[in-house]
Structure 1
Amino acid sequence: MRGKKLDRFRGSHVGMVFQRPHFIQSLSLEKNLQLIQYLGGNSQDYERIKSTLNSLGLLSKMKENPRYLSQGEQQRAAIALAVINRPRLILADEPTSALDDTNCYRVVKLLKSQTRSTNSSLIIITHDQRLKSEFTNTITLVREDSLKHR
């Protein structure tokens, strides 16, 4: 695949959570989510947007511009962007790094529910022990030079 076809495939089948959230700052959170749905080739589903934001404790922030959200709210909003299209693969880089315990477990619940309901795969890169303890199928990588110091 190339060009638009590859972009459309990624948009509808792969959800990504980056360490630093990326939004179109001139759009509200709701409009950012609608845009992701559109770019993924999906119809705009207002109920899906509301339920996803509600599960992350962000429903009241739907009309807000992302720049006015706290760091933790932006992190949760980025997770909403990643899961809104029900992708077959979710790649998450430190998805809970800026979150308190309550919101960490909201994210865990959403990711587990999302992967279960869509039979999708989830790859998480994290140092967060709270997150590690919630998933049983894990791979731990340790740098060889760090073993010398033990």
Structure 2
Amino acid sequence: MCFDVPAVSQSTIYTTLCSQAVDPSLPYGSFAHILDELLRLYDNSVWSIRNHISRWEVRRTQEIDYVLLHEIARHGVHVNETLKVAARSLSSIRQHHERSRVEINLVGSKNKRRSWDTVGEHLEFQVRFLEGLAERSQANNARI
């Protein structure tokens, strides 16, 4: 599910998945927990680029460092591309969760239905959060 995830994030994901917070009867619940940690990484990436741009803007009256600008822009483009792919993937997971909810017979258990809906709402929040990060990333690139 995840490639090249920093060791600290791997540990956080592992700890979360091994905790009692993950209900094995809610398959999308695991996705939501993993995505929480991945969203932290995406968030850090977007704001790190913003911080580099802000530092460059403070010094722009000095001689322009085109190599630095190129590196910031290159990383910004990569972050933007990654966010777009992640947003599409997460949106697909969310849609599949919704379709599965309709197909799975949850009528017998009000608590099960409530838990399923809670996961769906969390996935929806994550989609919107990721879309917001993508917009921030585009704004970063426009500033360069």
Name the TM tier (shorter chain): 0.3 to 0.5
Q: Which structure has the higher relative contact order (CA within 8 Å, separation 6+)?
A: 2
* Higher percent of residues as strand: 1
Rg larger in structure: 2
Tell me the TM-score normalized by structure 2: 0.33
